[in-house]
Amino acid sequence: MSDVKLPGPSPLVKPIATFFGAGLSPKAPGTVGSLAGLGFGMALQALGGPVALLLGLSLVIAAGFVATELYMREVMVEDPQEVVIDEVAGQLIALLPLSIGLWYAEADPMVFFAAWPGWVGAFLAFRLFDIWKPWLVGRADRMHGAVGVMLDDLVAGVFAAILVIIAAVISHGVLM
């Protein structure tokens, strides 16, 4: 019986958990993962605006929970720093207000790239809440397993999205 080998994790687990190697950066893997999420969000925006962004976000969240859980079991570390699929999910959430706002304004999805204050602000706000971990972000971060790893970044993404909305209201209320 000792010669029986159980199947290992899927070969997709590490690429998904590290977002195709972004989390393997020797310096600031969370920031690199967030930048990868920003690039992924921009690609989704170009492909289909907020609908593509929401579909991509749904896929990242679902795959993120599964891949994170399996990867954590494999490496036997509670919150491995190379797991950045959670940063990608949070960053996509932070980008949603800009994408939806442009869609509502009936702007071409490619205007997203020219709206750099929005996506730069979304990136910076997400990093702020992800690093600072205020209130609900910190509570989620203290949870165990894949839920804790993923949930703190999802909440940080929601906080960043709220800040993006507030900034847009202030900016467009003053500028228009």
pTM passes above 0.85: yes
The answer to whether 77 touches 23, Cβ cutoff 8 Å, is: no
pLDDT of 172 reads 84
The answer to whether 45 touches 56, Cβ cutoff 8 Å, is: no
pLDDT in tens, 120-156: 999 999 999 999 999 999 999 999 999 999 999 999 9
Question: Residue 151 contacts by C-beta under 8 Å, 6 or more apart in sequence?
Answer: 140, 141, 143
The answer to whether 64 touches 48, Cβ cutoff 8 Å, is: no
pLDDT in tens, 9-33: 688 999 999 999 999 999 999 999 9
User: How would you class 26 by CB atoms within 10 Å of its CB: exposed for 0-12, middle for 13-18, buried for 19 or more?
Assistant: exposed
pLDDT band at 1 (very low <50, low <70, confident <90, very high): very low
Alpha helices (H) in the chain, listed in sequence order: 13-17, 29-75, 85-104, 111-114, 116-132, 135-141, 145-175
Mean pLDDT throughout 71-87?
A: 94
Domain boundaries, the chain: 13-175
pLDDT in tens, 85-97: 999 999 999 999 9
